[in-house]
């Protein structure tokens, strides 16, 4: 028997099944493993097309995953209709407008936190009781490589994905006695429409970066299903994500500095990404001058404090 054979015929709840990686995971689970998948997304046309293609093995519900109430209603509905969930895949998510943290509005921040992180909390809370009863339980949360190597311009996105990673690691520990496989997927760039949905930006700019370095959604989908089957707790589906993880393990201080520099070099050339780095570039000379004058000011302050007699050579001040 193969390591992935337990996936055959399982009941799955999958968010974000209408496009991108979620859609690819859905196709594999239904077509290859004959799973019964209950998908969650909002785009009716895309969901109906998938229903027409996949038939009885696929059903869907349309709701906003940010709503705690909808999650609990959904879980109750499935239980009432006898759909006993074995596997929960929290895949749906959104990206943030690229830019400085302080330029994000409170509404934008709330939307990103609710969609990317609280939805995962609600999903796990609503479905863990049922999954605990399954002999073939699994939970998979899709975070991002930016959970381990966050980068400027994507502050809240990185923050939510780090939260998803943290929750998943804890669930792995807490659910040990229940034979539930727990997986956190941390992709690098994947060619999907997620960048097109980025608010207030021309899609083609962000797209061109991902197009040149990203893997396809199909490749990511295949790898994600395998990782769920094997119950890999931390899974990096592409080379860049693996490299980011290795960098953070071996050189935890140098890697963020390098990736920040790289982002500045690459993104500085992309008009819509440029402004967050342009300010740094413009301020470079100013900063040098400021550092010089700061040194002089510090020297003055020390002299002033010493003259006041505040320095005493005792246990407290002798540090
Ligand atoms: N693509 C990448 O480079 C990349 C890299 C690292 C991590 N990720 C993560 O991987 C996951 C999948 O990303 P993807 O690239 O496949 O994205 P995608 O193609 O944009 O698909 C996102 C899916 O999530 C659903 N969704 C989004 N917000 C929702 C909401 N509020 N309520 C219900 N459904 C919602 C969308 O469905 P509807 O539009 O029909 O609602 C869609 O099916 C996300 O969590 C993302 O953060 C992606």
Give tens-digit pLDDT for 68-93: 999 999 999 999 999 999 999 999 99
CB 255 within 8 A of CB 272: no
pLDDT of residue 312: 63
- How many CB atoms neighbour CB 98 within 10 A? 23
What is the set of domains in the chain, with CATH numbers? 5-272 (3.40.50.720), 275-319 (no CATH)
Ligand 1 mutation target, pool 61, 74, 92, 186, most atoms within 8 A of CB: 92
Ligand 1 mutation target, pool 17, 20, 37, most atoms within 8 A of CB: 20
Task: Give the tens place of pLDDT for each residue, 209-249.
Answer: 788 889 999 999 999 999 999 999 999 999 999 999 999 99
To 10 degrees, the CA torsion angle through 260, 265, 267, 273?
Answer: 80
Ligand 1, atom nearest to 116 Cα: 45
pLDDT at 34 over 60: yes
Compute the distance from residue 300 Cα to the ligand 1 centre, in Å. 55
Compute the distance from residue 142 Cα to the ligand 1 centre, in Å. 9
pLDDT at 250 over 90: yes
Concatenating the DSSP letter of every residue in 28-43 gives HHHHTT--EEEEEES-
pLDDT of residue 137: 97
Compute the distance from residue 304 Cα to the ligand 1 centre, in Å. 58
Q: What is the mean pLDDT of residues 247-259?
A: 91
Residue nearest to atom 1 of ligand 1 (CA): 190
pLDDT of residue 41: 98
User: Residues of the chain with pLDDT > 70: what percent?
Assistant: 88
Query: Can you tell me the distance from the alpha carbon of 89 to that of 123, in angstroms, rounded to the nearest whole number?
Result: 9
* Residue 245, CA distances (Å) to 141, 143, 152, 162, 186 in order: 17, 13, 17, 13, 9
For ligand 1, residues with CB inside 6 Å are 15-22, 40-43, 46, 64-66, 91-94, 115, 142, 144, 187, 189-190, 192-194, 197, 210, 214
pLDDT of residue 302: 84
What per-residue string of b and e applies to 161-172 under the rule 16 or more CB within 10 Å gives b? bbbbbebbeebb
* Residue 22, CA distances (Å) to 50, 90, 189 in order: 12, 9, 15
């Amino acid at each position: 028997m193969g390591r992935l054979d337990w996936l055959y015929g399982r009941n799955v709840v999958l968010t974000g099944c209408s496009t991108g990686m979620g859609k690819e995971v859905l196709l594999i689970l239904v077509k290859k493993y004959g799973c019964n998948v209950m998908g969650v997304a909002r785009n009716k046309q895309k969901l109906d097309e998938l229903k027409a293609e996949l038939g009885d093995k696929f059903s869907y519900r349309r709701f906003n995953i940010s709503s705690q109430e909808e999650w609990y209603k959904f879980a109750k509905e499935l239980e009432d209709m006898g759909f006993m969930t074995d596997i929960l895949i929290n895949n749906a998510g959104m990206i943030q407008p690229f830019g400085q943290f302080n330029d994000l509005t409170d509404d934008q921040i709330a939307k990103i936190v609710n969609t990317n992180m609280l939805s995962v909390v609600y999903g796990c809370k609503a479905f863990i009781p049922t999954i605990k009863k399954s002999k073939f339980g699994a939970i998979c949360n899709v975070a991002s490589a930016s959970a381990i190597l966050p980068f400027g311009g994507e502050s809240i996105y990185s923050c939510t994905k780090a939260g998803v990673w943290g929750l998943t690691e804890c669930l792995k520990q807490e659910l040990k006695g229940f034979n539930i496989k727990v997986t956190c997927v941390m992709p690098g760039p994947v060619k999907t429409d997620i960048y097109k949905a980025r608010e207030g930006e021309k899609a083609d700019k962000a797209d061109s970066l991902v197009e040149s370095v990203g893997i396809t959604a199909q490749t990511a989908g295949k790898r994600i299903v395998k990782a769920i089957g094997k119950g890999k707790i931390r899974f990096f589906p592409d080379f860049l994500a693996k490299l980011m993880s290795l960098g953070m393990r071996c050189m935890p201080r140098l890697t963020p500095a390098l990736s920040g520099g790289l982002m500045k070099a690459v993104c500085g050339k992309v008009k819509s990404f440029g402004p967050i780095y342009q300010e740094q570039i413009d301020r470079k000379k100013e900063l040098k001058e400021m550092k010089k004058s700061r040194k002089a000011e510090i020297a003055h302050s020390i002299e002033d404090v010493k003259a006041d007699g505040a320095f005493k050579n005792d246990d407290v001040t002798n540090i």
